[in-house]
Structure 1
Amino acid sequence: MSLDFGLILKQMPDILSGLWVTLWMWIVATLLGAALGFLVAVGRRYGPAPLDWLLKLCVEMLRGTPFLVQLFLLYFGGPFIGLRLEPIPAGLLGLTVYAAAYFSEIFRAGFQAVPKGHVEAADMAGLSRAQILRRIILPEMTMLVLPQCVNMAIVLIKETAILSIITVPEMTMVIGAIGSQQYAFVDAMFLLAIIYWVLVEICGFLGRLAEARLSKFRFAAS
């Protein structure tokens, strides 16, 4: 047995189509998940106690169950409560909510990591609560949580492969189908692994670049 990528690469237009679906769903889910996670973290930190308990329960349920199970419940169990979604909307919603649970914990830890002395000094200087949040807490928190956010984005890249279970035409489903049709499944999975590895490396590089730039800004600002 020998690897022959030629059989797979003949289907390059289909592969690129699946790659495009993977990329845009990952980017949108990451951005929406981060935004929703930030709102959840703010609600837990500054909201009333009942809201904190409710949001904590939701976050713990999402973090305590596999994404595959959540996706199955959303796509196949949704119709039982009147929620009928096509594969792509269901996959996007599931990935966004899953991401939001983890991002919320990252941001919550970031809020707690900001030195209290900085907040107290800003309060003594007469800044309002909104100004303290915008000028002190958010900039410092962003620098603190950036590595964790990049790691979460990398996790989400790989989690997009699970979307193939509900027939989302992303990269895993497309390349897997091509491998089965061409009787070259090992070749297809090897190529798929290479593509995911390249995407992860690119994401990690961009994250390190952003972290370096933010560090320079922090040093200049100080």
Structure 2
Amino acid sequence: MSPDPTPGRLFAGSQGTAVLRFPLPPALPIPLGIAAPEGVTLATWAFSGMEEGAVGGPVCLLALEGIPGGDLTLATHFRDIPIRPEPRAPDVLSAAERALLARALLSAGPSGLTVLAGLLPLVETALAAFTPAADAPALIPEASGYALTGKDVPHALLLRSEAGWGCARVKCARLGFAGGPRVGLVLDPLWGTPPMSARAAFALHAHGFVPLAVRAA
């Protein structure tokens, strides 16, 4: 006998994306993918409310590409979990949940960039809290694009200019050592505003992200 669906709350983004929040079972199952329906895929996920005394208890946040029109089945390492999404306004998401979701989206790798675009309005306020560390790599404008101090090469950059946010894939990278190690980046814009005159930036890596110190040209 199939278990009754777990009630979930669905927060729609743009471009066919959504966030689904549901209460975590005691076994803390690790999400692996969407078993049903077809056309809905799992971009990334995060657990929230794990700390002692958290209001509402532990919940799971699923970042989805595709919006389910009915019940959804989540495949996990433990068992499949049927979930019944109920649409809700995005303002129900707490600041802590937005921050965790932002971290997950920025760390989702190249396949998560489309979902990041659609869910950016839900996490934009959380991005302001991710400030560069004192020893953070610097992003430096150049004639051909940008240079990044250090040796690490991200797969993409998330950039904020006066006109808004934009994302660009790193098309080509060249390592140089004049004046210290730096990587020259040739960018391929994916969505949002053109990658020029950045005021804030994030280097996106396959399993993490780094807030960058943005320098003037």
TM-score scaled by length of structure 2:
0.24
Structure having the larger proportion of residues in strand:
2
- Ranked by relative contact order (alpha carbons within 8 Å, sequence separation 6 or more), the top structure is 1
Instruction: Kindly name which structure, 1 or 2, has the bigger radius of gyration based on alpha carbons.
Output: 1
Structure having the larger proportion of residues in helix:
1
